[in-house]
Structure formats: structure tokens, C-alpha cells
């Protein structure tokens, strides 16, 4: 049982707690009432707001739709006005652009092309929308007039700014072809950058909008003229400079390649300066054509549409190329006439030109790539013509050496080297500078299977065979000519001089090596021929030395008086020797042996033979009393005889 005091406390706690709960409940009731009131108020407000929104919506939506319609109408009006402005602008194009079109594009190309674009659009508009409009004819007229002005401006720009390339600049361009740094600096600027820009703009407009190709004809005609005049100017430069020392070339490129055409050829005997100038000028013009044509093609690719470039270039180079080919054919024609006259030195003009044409042919082929077949075949045709003419000249020269007539009045009276020999050797020596060219000429005429596999070795053998043929023909002709001389000794001196001249000439040049390709023993053979002629000559002295030989001389004893017959025989021997010596020395003094070494050798050999024989003869009979007048028979001492022989072959003594 709970104590009363504790129960009282407990009750009081419960009562306090209950009181608190009642207060809380009372607060909650008050709050709920307030909340309900607020909710009622909010619902009332929302209901009112909803009602107002509905009223607003019912008022705004029609306004919005009306505004939207108005905006659409405004846009349509604006578009219509814009279209009207655009259409109206076409009607103003003619008046807006007429002044500029009339004045032309010079100095304001971009503005002019802008006007042409407006006119073109106007033409297209009227053609599509109002083909019967008088405005169409007006803008069409302006367009055609503008196009003509652009064509005229293109012609004017090309004419005014296309300049002939100076000879000095061309020579520098040729001379610098292997110097890469120089080559960079040597790029030709045919048109300035601004002019080139205008020309390109006009050409592209004419192709794209003008539907015009006539300007391409204008282009190639103007550039063709400049190219042709540049090459002719170079040739004239050489002609004017031919009187000065050497062939002119510009000093701007000092380091020339050894085999460039700018190098002056070595002067050759028998060739005049004018002929050398003509050859050099032509060779330079060929090289100039290649370089200038390359430069023209580079310029053309910027201006002419791609699918017209090859044809335009073909037309552009024709005049200059035809001029070169015609001049080359003229050279061939002159060479053919020279062959008929047997003037083979003139034929040699073909050789350096042909060599240069063949060396230049790869560049030619590259430059002419894409041109017509007739254009490509021009150079090969000229090369073939020159090879045929050259081969004919070589063949005729060999035949001429063989068949040169034995004209007595043309024979050297002193037995020296014949003109035919010197001419033949000179011609062969000049061929040395053109071994490959001459070999190729000969090979071009071969029809054997070996010729089809032509190479440098084959060419060398052909040239060696040819040289040996010429030398063989020359030797046969010299033998025939020598028969003109009645004196066998003079005949021998003549053959000796000619054989010796041939051998020495062969040895001084590379001819001996070429001959040895097919005739290993040629040098030895000539030496044997020379020695044989010396021996033949020496036999001419037998009629002198036979008088003083021991054969049939009387044998006598010292102190024994000679019989009359013996004295007479000794007198006859002395007289025969003296007369023979005097006669031979008188005759042979007028003969000539130009080679000092050979002359001394022959004199020395003859002196030795005669001195030995005459010295022995004198030793035996000088003290013999075979005459009362010994000075009448013993006219010469041994030294005097030697001096007389020493003066042989010396026309100046």
C-alpha cells in the first residue's frame, strides 16, 4: 500500500501534466481554427485570381493573335519591299555602270569586274523574268561592250608589258644553267606581279563569264613575236660583235661550264671568223630557244586554262622553232653545195651544230612534251638531215682523196708535202673534236645488225675504220702522184716527206690512237715506208760514189811509173766524182725536207757514206802522179764535200 504522502505527490504531478496537456490542446485548437481561416482566405484569393486569369486570357489571346498577324504582314511587306528594291536595282544597273564601262578597266580592274558582275546578273534577271524588256537589250549591250573592253585591256597589257629579252640576259641564262644559285637569280620575269595579276584576272573572267577564247590567240601571237624577236636579237648581237675579239657572252656568270655553248670554240685553220660566228650564234640560239620556251610555258600556265595550254604553247613557239629549223636546213643546204665543190672544210660547220642539237635534244623533247607530233618531229628531222649530209661528206671526202687527179702543175717542185696530204690530215684532225658525232653519222648509214645495237665502242671502231680508209686512199694517191717526178730520188723525197708528215701528225694528235683501234701496226708500217724511201733516195748517190769505189781501180806499186791507161782511168774517176757531186748538189739543193730532224738525219747518213769513200779514194791517189795539173782533178777536200752535202735541201742557202 502506497504511503499517503507519496500518493499526494503523485497526484499533484499528474494534475500538473494534465493541465499542461489541456493547454497544449487548447493551443492546437486555436491554431487549427486560424489555419482553417487562412485556408479559406487563400482559397478565396485563388478563386478570385483564377477568375481574373480567365478573364485576362480571354482578353489577351485575341490581341496576341492579332499582333502575330500584324508581324507576319509586316515581314511580308518588308520582303516585298526588298524584292522590289532588288528588282528596281536591275533597272538602275545600266545607268549606274555605264560611265565606268565606257571609260574602260585600265587602272581599276577590280571595280570594273564588279560592274560586269552586276551587269551579268541583270542580264540573267531580265532573260528569266522579262525577256521583252528594253532594259535587257541595254544591259546586254553594256555586257558585250565591257567584254570587248576587257579583251582590249588584255591585249594592251600583253602588248605594253611583253618585252624582248636582251641578248646579255639570255647569255647569262644559258651560262648559268649549271649554277643552281645563279639559276635562282636568273628566273625571267616577263610580266610584273601587278600586271600578271590583272592579266590572270581578265583571262579567268573571259573564260568563265565571257565564254571567249580569242584572247588565247592574242596571247600566243604577242608572246610568239617576243620569243622570235628575242632569239633574232641574240643572233644580231653576235653579228654586231663578230668584229670584236672573240664571241661575246655576258660576264655576269663568270664560272662557265666547259661544254656550254657560251664557250668560244678553238680557232681552226682554214675557217674564217664569220663562219665561226655563224656557227656559234646558231648554237647559242638553239640553247636560247630551249630556255626561253621553258620560261614561256611557265608564264602560260598561269594565264591560259589548263586544257588549252599545250595547244596555245604549240602555236606560240612555232615561229621561233621554224626559224631555227629553217636556218639549220640552210646550213645543211650550204654543206651539200660545199660537198659538190669538194669544199669539205665548209662541211665541218655541220659537226659542232649537230653535236649541240643532239646534246640539247632531251631538253627539247621535254619542252615540246604535249605539242603536236609535227612539232616534236622537227628537231629529229633536222638531226637526221644533218647526219645524212655529214655521212655523205665523209664518204665523198674519202673518195675525193682517192681520186684526186695527178696534175703535174699542182705537184710541189721541191718534193715537199702535197696540199692533198695536209688537207686530208687537217680534216681528220678536226674530226677529233667530234668523234662521237662523226661516229654516229657513220653508224646512221649502217644497215647491218651490229648498227642496231649502236654504242660508243661501235662508233669508235667505225670512225677508226673510216680514218684508216682515208689514210689508205691518201697513200695510194700519193704513190700515183709521185710518178709525175721523172727523178726517182725526188720521187722518194716526195713520198718520204708526205709519209713523215702523216706519221708526225698522227702522233701529235689522238689520231694515232683511233687508227690503232683497227690497225695496230699502222705506226710501224709508216716508219718502214719512210725508211724505204730514204734508202731509195740514197741510191741516187751511187752514180757519184761508184766512181771512187775500189772496184776496177788500178793496182800500182809505190815508185812505179803509171801507164797512160791507168792515169786516164784515175782522171776519169776524179772527173766523174766531181761532175756527179756538183750535179747532184745543184739539183738536190732545190729539194726540200721540212722536218729538221729527218733532214739532218738524211744529210748525216749521206755525208758519212760519201766522206768514207772519198776520203779513202783521196788517201790512195792524192799523192799519185797521175797528172801534171792535180788541182784540175782534186777539186774538193773531204770537208768541202761534207759542206756541200750539208747544204742539200736548203733553198735559202
Helices 109-129, 4-103: axis angle to 10 degrees equals 100
Asked if 311 and 288 touch (Cβ cutoff 8 Å), the reply is no
pLDDT of 608 > 90? The answer is yes
Mention every residue, 6+ apart, whose C-beta is less than 8 A from residue 448. Answer: none
C-alpha–C-alpha distance, residues 262 and 620, integer Å:
76
pLDDT digits (tens, 9 = 90+) for 342-359: 888 888 889 999 999 999
Confidence (pLDDT) at 558: 66
Measured torsion, CA atoms of residues 480, 483, 484, 489, in degrees rounded to the nearest 10: 130
- Give the confidence band of 183 by pLDDT, cuts at 50, 70, 90: very low
Asked if 210 and 292 touch (Cβ cutoff 8 Å), the reply is no
pLDDT digits (tens, 9 = 90+) for 373-398: 999 999 999 999 999 999 999 999 99
* Element containing residue 538 per DSSP (H, E): helix 522-538
Alpha-carbon Rg for the chain, nearest whole angstrom, is: 57
The arithmetic mean of pLDDT across residues 585-613, rounded, is 93
Asked if 591 and 495 touch (Cβ cutoff 8 Å), the reply is no
**Which among 453, 198, 229, 222 has a CA at the least distance from the CA of 315?**
222
Confidence (pLDDT) at 273: 64
pLDDT digits (tens, 9 = 90+) for 7-23: 888 888 898 888 888 88
Mention every residue, 6+ apart, whose C-beta is less than 8 A from residue 650. Answer: 589
Confidence (pLDDT) at 17: 87
Asked if 276 and 191 touch (Cβ cutoff 8 Å), the reply is no
CA distances from 380 to 294, 329, 365 (A): 19, 12, 10
- For 333, list phi and psi in degrees, rounded to 5: -65, -45
pLDDT of 614 > 70? The answer is yes
Q: How much is the pTM? A: 0.74
The arithmetic mean of pLDDT across residues 448-477, rounded, is 82
Asked if 347 and 390 touch (Cβ cutoff 8 Å), the reply is yes
- Give the confidence band of 82 by pLDDT, cuts at 50, 70, 90: low
Residue tagged 675525193 (cell numbers):
400
pLDDT digits (tens, 9 = 90+) for 231-274: 999 999 988 886 554 444 433 333 333 334 433 333 444 445 67
Q: Residue 65 corresponds to which cell in the numbers above?
A: 493573335
Phi-psi group of 591: left, alpha or beta (phi > 0 → left; psi -120 to 50 → alpha; rest → beta): beta
C-alpha–C-alpha distance, residues 562 and 622, integer Å:
14
**Which among 449, 228, 447, 255 has a CA at the least distance from the CA of 320?**
228
The arithmetic mean of pLDDT across residues 83-109, rounded, is 81
pLDDT of 184 > 60? The answer is no
Asked if 571 and 548 touch (Cβ cutoff 8 Å), the reply is no
The arithmetic mean of pLDDT across residues 458-478, rounded, is 94
DSSP state of 547: G
Asked if 174 and 291 touch (Cβ cutoff 8 Å), the reply is yes
Three-state DSSP class for residue 16: helix
- Give the confidence band of 215 by pLDDT, cuts at 50, 70, 90: very high
Measured torsion, CA atoms of residues 76, 80, 86, 88, in degrees rounded to the nearest 10: -170
Helices 350-367, 378-403: axis angle to 10 degrees equals 160
The arithmetic mean of pLDDT across residues 108-120, rounded, is 92
Asked if 176 and 112 touch (Cβ cutoff 8 Å), the reply is no
Q: Residue 248 corresponds to which cell in the numbers above?
A: 661575246
C-alpha–C-alpha distance, residues 390 and 462, integer Å:
14
The arithmetic mean of pLDDT across residues 498-525, rounded, is 94
C-alpha–C-alpha distance, residues 612 and 541, integer Å:
13
How far is Cα of residue 193 from the mean position of the Cα atoms in its chain? 29
Amino acid at each position: 500500500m502506497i504511503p499517503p504522502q507519496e500518493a499526494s505527490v503523485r497526484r499533484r504531478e499528474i494534475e500538473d501534466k494534465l493541465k499542461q496537456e489541456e493547454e497544449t490542446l487548447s493551443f492546437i485548437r486555436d491554431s487549427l481554427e486560424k489555419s482553417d481561416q487562412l485556408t479559406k482566405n487563400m482559397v478565396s484569393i485563388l478563386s478570385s485570381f483564377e477568375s481574373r486569369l480567365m478573364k485576362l486570357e480571354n482578353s489577351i489571346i485575341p490581341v496576341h493573335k492579332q499582333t502575330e498577324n500584324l508581324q507576319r504582314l509586316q515581314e511580308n511587306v518588308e520582303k516585298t519591299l526588298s524584292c522590289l528594291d532588288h528588282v528596281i536595282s536591275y533597272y538602275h544597273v545600266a545607268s549606274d555602270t555605264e560611265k565606268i564601262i565606257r571609260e574602260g578597266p585600265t587602272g581599276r580592274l577590280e571595280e570594273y569586274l564588279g560592274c560586269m558582275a552586276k551587269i551579268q546578273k541583270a542580264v540573267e534577271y531580265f532573260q528569266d523574268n522579262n525577256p521583252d524588256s528594253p532594259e535587257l537589250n541595254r544591259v546586254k549591250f553594256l555586257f558585250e561592250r565591257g567584254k570587248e573592253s576587257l579583251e582590249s585591256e588584255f591585249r594592251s597589257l600583253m602588248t605594253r608589258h611583253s618585252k624582248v629579252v636582251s641578248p646579255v640576259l639570255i647569255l647569262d641564262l644559258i651560262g648559268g644553267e649549271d649554277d643552281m644559285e645563279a639559276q635562282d637569280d636568273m628566273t625571267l620575269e616577263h610580266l610584273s606581279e601587278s600586271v600578271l595579276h590583272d592579266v590572270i584576272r581578265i583571262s579567268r573572267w573571259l573564260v568563265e563569264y565571257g565564254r571567249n577564247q580569242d584572247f588565247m590567240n592574242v596571247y600566243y601571237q604577242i608572246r610568239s613575236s617576243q620569243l622570235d624577236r628575242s632569239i633574232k636579237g641574240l643572233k644580231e648581237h653576235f653579228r654586231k660583235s663578230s668584229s670584236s675579239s672573240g664571241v661575246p657572252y655576258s660576264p655576269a656568270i663568270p664560272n662557265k661550264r666547259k661544254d656550254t655553248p657560251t664557250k668560244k670554240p678553238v680557232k681552226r685553220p682554214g675557217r674564217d671568223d664569220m663562219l665561226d660566228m655563224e656557227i656559234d650564234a646558231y648554237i647559242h640560239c638553239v640553247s636560247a630557244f630551249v630556255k626561253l620556251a621553258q620560261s614561256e610555258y611557265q608564264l602560260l600556265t598561269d594565264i591560259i586554262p589548263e586544257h588549252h595550254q599545250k595547244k596555245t604553247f604549240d602555236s606560240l613557239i612555232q615561229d621561233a622553232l621554224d626559224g631555227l629549223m629553217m636556218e639549220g636546213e640552210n646550213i645543211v643546204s650550204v654543206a651539200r653545195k660545199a660537198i659538190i665543190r669538194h669544199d669539205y672544210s665548209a662541211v665541218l660547220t655541220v659537226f659542232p651544230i649537230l653535236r649541240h642539237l643532239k646534246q640539247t635534244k632531251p631538253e627539247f623533247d621535254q619542252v615540246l612534251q604535249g605539242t603536236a607530233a609535227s612539232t616534236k618531229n622537227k628537231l629529229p628531222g633536222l638531226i637526221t638531215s644533218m647526219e645524212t649530209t655529214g655521212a655523205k661528206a665523209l664518204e665523198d671526202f674519202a673518195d675525193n682523196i682517192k681520186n684526186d687527179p695527178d696534175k703535174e702543175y699542182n705537184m710541189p717542185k721541191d718534193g715537199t708535202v702535197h696540199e692533198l696530204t695536209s688537207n686530208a690530215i687537217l680534216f681528220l684532225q678536226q674530226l677529233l673534236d667530234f668523234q662521237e658525232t662523226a661516229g654516229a653519222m657513220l653508224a646512221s648509214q649502217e644497215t647491218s645488225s651490229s648498227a642496231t645495237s649502236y654504242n660508243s665502242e661501235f662508233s669508235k671502231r667505225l670512225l677508226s675504220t673510216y680514218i684508216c680508209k682515208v689514210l689508205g686512199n691518201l697513200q695510194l694517191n700519193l704513190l700515183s702522184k709521185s710518178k709525175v717526178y721523172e727523178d726517182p730520188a725526188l720521187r722518194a723525197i716526195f713520198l718520204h716527206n708526205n709519209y713523215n708528215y702523216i706519221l708526225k701528225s698522227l702522233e701529235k694528235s689522238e689520231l694515232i690512237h683511233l687508227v690503232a683501234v683497227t690497225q695496230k701496226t699502222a705506226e710501224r708500217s709508216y716508219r718502214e715506208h719512210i725508211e724505204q724511201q730514204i734508202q731509195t733516195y740514197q741510191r741516187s748517190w751511187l752514180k757519184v760514189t761508184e766512181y771512187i769505189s775500189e772496184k776496177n781501180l788500178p793496182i800500182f806499186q809505190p815508185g812505179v811509173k803509171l801507164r797512160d791507161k791507168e792515169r786516164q782511168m784515175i782522171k776519169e774517176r776524179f772527173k766523174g766524182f766531181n761532175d756527179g757531186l756538183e750535179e747532184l748538189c745543184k739539183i738536190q739543193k732545190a729539194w726540200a725536207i721540212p722536218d729538221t730532224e729527218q733532214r739532218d738525219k738524211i744529210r748525216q747518213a749521206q755525208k758519212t757514206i760519201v766522206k768514207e769513200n772519198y776520203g779513202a779514194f783521196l788517201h790512195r791517189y792524192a799523192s799519185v802522179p797521175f797528172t801534171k795539173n792535180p788541182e784540175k782533178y782534186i777539186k774538193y777536200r773531204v770537208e768541202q764535200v761534207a759542206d756541200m752535202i750539208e747544204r742539200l735541201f736548203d733553198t735559202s742557202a
